[in-house]
Copies of this chain bind each other. A is one copy, B any other.
């Protein structure tokens, strides 16, 4: 946990981007233009929080907001080319480091790690009454075509929607 925390701060000071901002960018990159509330749902933050983050991203010209013509309530948020570049430059939320490291491990160990993490997530959820979305990204290693996809036991994507 402290590792993640420290990484997050390092990110902010070195790459001028914070974790939530990076998460937004990444989500916009992956899932195309999104409405504000759709984005908020995807990253599990409140609407108002998301607006703030988008404000900062827009200031840096990494995203643009575009009002829909058909339904003028709706605002579509796009990632800009500059935003894409920023995404490339910044280490992607620890994932890159992890992905590289994991890819280098023997398949058997990857499996063991996946199972261990699954156990832990299980435990964290143990006493929960209301379901919370915990891990819903796809497989940890996804953009590593050289891997034969050993069929990591997918952490069951609990899409217990709100």
Contact = CB atoms under 8 A, between A and B. Distances in A.
Interface of A: 1-4, 6-7, 44, 94, 97-98, 100-102, 105, 109, 112-113, 115-117, 119-127, 132-135
Given A97-B123, A113-B119, A116-B117, 4 more contacts: A3-B121, A3-B132, A6-B132, A109-B119
A97 B120 CA distance: 10
12 contacts: A2-B134, A3-B124, A3-B125, A4-B4, A97-B123, A100-B123, A101-B119, A101-B120, A112-B115, A112-B116, A113-B120, A115-B116
B97 A119 contact: no
Interface centre among A119, A123, A126 (most CB of B within 10 A): A123
Contacts of A135: 2-3
A115 B100 CA distance: 18
Contacts of A133: 2
A7 B44 CA distance: 13
B2 A44 contact: yes
Nearest to A119: B113
